[in-house]
Amino acid sequence: MVDPISRLIHRRSRHDYAVILMYHSVAASPGKPAWPWAASLQQFCSQLDFLAAEGWTTLTMGELVAMGNGYPERTVVITFDDGYSDNVAAWEALTRRGMRASWFIVTGSIGQAPQWSDEGQPSGRMLSANVLREMAASGMEIASHTVTHARLPQLDDGRLGDELSGSKAALEDVLGSEVESFAYPYGLFDERCEEAVRRAGYRAACTTRTGWALRDGNPLQLRRLSIFNSDTPSSLARKLSFGSNDASWRIVAQYAMRRAMA
């Protein structure tokens, strides 16, 4: 359910700028997940149902960039970082609704436990090569998130190139098709990293900067909105309207004040 104020804001807002949403884990257990970067499956499905009911078109990241400025109003790209095995439930939920998404995979951990550590992250194995092939065959985009989930600005040029080219080559070997999309681990990048991403053959790259996806006009600096364990369809409606991770009621009050003054 979406509260009346959030629904009103959403329906009165312009939605001619594409939005990219960033997910990580989708927990099967009911209730609010402990990890801030996780959503429950129930949360995720309710958010998908809201997007469908409000007429949002889901594209993959590659499709969005290929369209340039020709994408339809209410365009959203749903992305998943890392490649946790619990994402299978999200893939199935998307497929049932005829929706698509893009997955950024850490190739050094395919089918294994994650080889990097983030406090609170899901345990168990990551998505396997067979599952990734099935996902791609169903219309999902499988893209790169480096080999080891490294902080790219900290790497020397040789290691940086290996992380970018190695993950691209590994995924192309798994999928049998070209991989052209990328996401910077932890959202960390600089001019040197961006140029290395371009040289490695990627056409698009996601950051964790907030805002409308193509705000910078640079496909290697795409912006995203983060989805957290506390997000509901109502907060999602406000995030889509404001193009911001901060969709608190304080921001709503400021928005109402600006509207009243205008």
Q: What is the mean pLDDT of each run of 10 residues along the chain (262 residues)?
A: 94 94 94 95 97 98 94 97 98 98 98 92 94 98 98 98 98 98 98 98 98 96 97 97 92 80 76
pLDDT given for residue 74 in this prediction: 97
pLDDT given for residue 202 in this prediction: 98
Q: CA gyration radius for the chain? A: 18
From residue 7, give the alpha-carbon distance in Å to each of 10, 44, 64, 176, 243: 5, 18, 26, 43, 15
| Adjacent-strand bridge partners of 141 | 102
pLDDT given for residue 249 in this prediction: 85
The H-or-E segment that residue 226 falls in is strand 225-226
Beta strands in 73-140 (DSSP E): 75-82, 102-105
Q: Which of 49, 32, 140, 147 is nearest to 87 (CA)?
A: 140
Looking at 3.40.1210.10, 3.20.20.370, 3.60.21.10, 3.30.450.40, the CATH number of the domain 4-261 comes to: 3.20.20.370
* Burial label, 38 (beta-carbon count in 10 A; 0-12, 13-18, 19+): buried
